[in-house]
Chains A and B, each alone.
Chain A
Amino acid sequence: DAGITQSPRYKITETGRQVTLMCHQTWSHSYMFWYRQDLGHGLRLIYYSAAADITDKGEVPDGYVVSRSKTENFPLTLESATRSQTSVYFCASTRLMTGANSPLHFGNGTRLTVT
């Protein structure tokens, strides 16, 4: 089915471990985003990508790494997980960015708990 899928849906990891969250979209959208959602902070942008091999930092990038070798995939890696990275992570994609005349499509999220 067409859409945007995230995996895993739930993840528990220990402090200091590396963990990768996956995001895959089937629309061939150019732009992809990673957000985290925490109570009291709403949706905050971690990283975004305008195309394959083009990525840039968002509002809260520290402790995260992204890559985008293929248009359809945009994995997010926590190199050494910390408890403050416990959150719900959402991936999103959109076709165009000029003036934002195109909706964002979100995945269903990954709930990450760092113990």
Chain B
Amino acid sequence: DAKTTQPNSMESNEEEPVHLPCNHSTISGTDYIHWYRQLPSQGPEYVIHGLTSNVNNRMASLAIAEDRKSSTLILHRATLRDAAVYYCAWLTDSWGKFQFGAGTQVVVTP
């Protein structure tokens, strides 16, 4: 069965980096790894996605293991606004079913 595992929570001080791991050992070789974050009372918001190589955008960086069985979302300088639940996700079939991890609650301390 497809499975995605993430730690329940992580804590960081403001302005410090945060590394959020995700294991997705059954992902196929052609499916992209996605990351979303969810603020309270809002829908999930797209953060970043990638296939094999590392990816950067204005929100975060995504480091993908060479075997693609895991990835790490990197928030370079955490701010209080980054406090949210972060989900990794990937497509488990061609019909649109995304497998979401249970999410990691990020707590940022001033």
A residues sitting closer than 8 Å to B (CB atoms) are 31, 33, 42-43, 45, 48, 50, 56, 58-59, 90, 92, 97, 99-101, 103-109
Contact = CB atoms under 8 A, between A and B. Distances in A.
Contacts of A31: 96
Contact of A43 (B31, B44, B49): B44
B100 A97 contact: no
B95 A100 contact: no
B91 A42 contact: no
Nearest to A31: B96
A103 B96 contact: no
A46 B33 CA distance: 21
B37 to A, nearest CB: 11
B34 A99 contact: no
B75 interface: no
B103 A97 contact: no
Contact of A97 (B30, B41, B42, B96): B96
Given A42-B103, A43-B87, A100 B98 contact: yes
Interface of B: 30-32, 34, 36, 41-46, 49, 51, 87, 89-91, 94-98, 100-103
Nearest to A56: B95
Contact of B49 (A48, A56, A59, A103): A103
Contact of B31 (A59, A99, A104, A105): A99
B31 A90 contact: no
A58 B45 CA distance: 21
Nearest to B32: A100
A92 B45 CA distance: 10
A45 B98 contact: yes
28 contacts: A31-B96, A33-B96, A42-B101, A42-B102, A43-B87, A45-B96, A45-B97, A45-B98, A48-B96, A50-B96, A58-B96, A90-B43, A90-B44, A92-B44, A97-B94, A99-B31, A100-B49, A100-B90, A101-B32, A104-B36, A104-B98, A105-B46, A106-B36, A107-B43, A108-B41, A108-B42, A109-B41, A109-B43
Nearest to B44: A106
A7 B35 CA distance: 26
